[in-house]
Structure 1
């Protein structure tokens, strides 16, 4: 499958009325391979897990090389890969565009860029720079108005719409509003937007069928699977210590080994760009 067809396939997953793209987020080769083996055609990464795995803070532009290295590991696999790139790991739009080029070079078809509630014009400039540099890369533009807790009031809703309008006009292929769980407000955004709306799944929020009925086109799991995996490990240790047999799904040693493959050659991931 050539690059153009792969990208078209990923974009098409956002345009199936009543059938949103449910996008699970992996954090290493094993987790991505396990998800792919269960039939998920598209997989994303999660910045929290990438950062936590190496003891660095999330959302602080500290994991550029780690993110690129993971993309190098996963980008040639037989599934569609979207990368959580925080804010692009830079304020300069040209630097963000260069990072996007490096992702594209290793097989990534989508990028998630968050505004962190910084200037909307700056984020729009990053989006425009990425689309100019790599037109085929699916840009999912995230605003943190609700993630920060500031979007609940009328002013917050207005600011959310203002930012999303700017990002659409800059060329974003999709828009992402994590932290928004109110069905009425989600429906308002769907009616207002031209680009597909991405919502972060919350166990306390609408179900996947409900989000589909509201018109949401992409549902991300974010760091949920990673955090659940950590929780399962803690629960298993507690069960074993208490003399109980751990519950839940446990892949065998051989199953995990079977999903492994040779890692890319050591050295800077930048050398592949």
Structure 2
């Protein structure tokens, strides 16, 4: 039997969550055996030629969720700050995603690269859980990400408030110091999520108490780099890298389009 999205956060090893920006990337991650796939607001916005933040990914995120509703794995959506200051509007938007089969969301406590009041983020979490009690709310704590009140103590204050508001997990992007990770994971009663970082493996993060490791926009950025490397190799008379065949990718898309 397939584990629920919530259960994936309580296994022996951390949940590794790849973040997709379109149907093709989501299908590739699912086909690679990942039990859950997230979206990336940066990748979605960037692929449409827009900067991240400011609600630029809202329409595309819900459109992608609608396209992926028959995906064979769990889907969790990055919804920035909920695309509204009104908790009721945020809750209604999340309920729309839930109706499309989305199992979880990331909800930020920042706007325009600055932290918002803890009470503002808590109010959104409470409203979301009231309307969609079974959705997994991963409350994002952005102190380290935007270098504001960037101490373990301030992160813990926010994390505890979000747990009290009904959050199911705590996401601390920018958290990379092992001792800080260990302390936050030990002091927060919910599964702690961090972004991938080259200084620590998933196994090492698990030993520090982390329960979920997100790729964030790394796959999108790596794909852009790989694309540039491929065409420059062609231009410079170097051997181009191998890739999945056109026919294999076409077959995957044809199969998915029939679901």
TM-score exceeds 0.5: yes
Contact 1:89–1:96 (Cα < 8 Å) also in 2? yes
Listed as ranges, the matches of 1:1-273 within 5 Å are: 9-17=4-12, 19-116=13-110, 117-150=115-148, 152=150, 156-203=151-198, 205-247=199-241, 249-260=242-253, 261-262=256-257
Q: 1:57: how far off? A: 2.1
1:151 and 1:255 map into 2 onto residues whose CA distance is 49
1:223 and 1:252 map into 2 onto residues whose CA distance is 24
Contact 1:198–1:217 (Cα < 8 Å) also in 2? yes
2:20 and 2:55 map into 1 onto residues whose CA distance is 19
Alignment TM-score, normalising by the size of structure 1: 0.89
Contact 2:168–2:191 (Cα < 8 Å) also in 1? yes
* 1:202-249 deviation per Cα after TM superposition (whole angstroms, max 9, x unaligned): 12x3111100111100000000000000000011111111101122x5
2:193 and 2:224 map into 1 onto residues whose CA distance is 25
Greater relative contact order, per chain length (Cα 8 Å cut-off, separation 6+)? 1
Alignment TM-score, normalising by the size of structure 2: 0.94
Q: Which runs of 5+ in 2 are unaligned?
A: none
1:64 and 1:33 map into 2 onto residues whose CA distance is 21
1:86 and 1:131 map into 2 onto residues whose CA distance is 17
1:93 and 1:22 map into 2 onto residues whose CA distance is 30
> Hey, which bits of structure 1, 4+ residues long, moved more than 6 A?
none
Figure out how many residues of one structure are paired with residues of the other and give that number: 253
* 1:239-265 deviation per Cα after TM superposition (whole angstroms, max 9, x unaligned): 111101122x5111111111213399x
- The alignment partner of 2:6 has SS state of helix
Q: In 2 relative to 1, CA 162–263 (structure 1 residues): closer, same or farther, beyond 3 Å?
A: farther
Q: Which runs of 5+ in 1 are unaligned?
A: 265-273
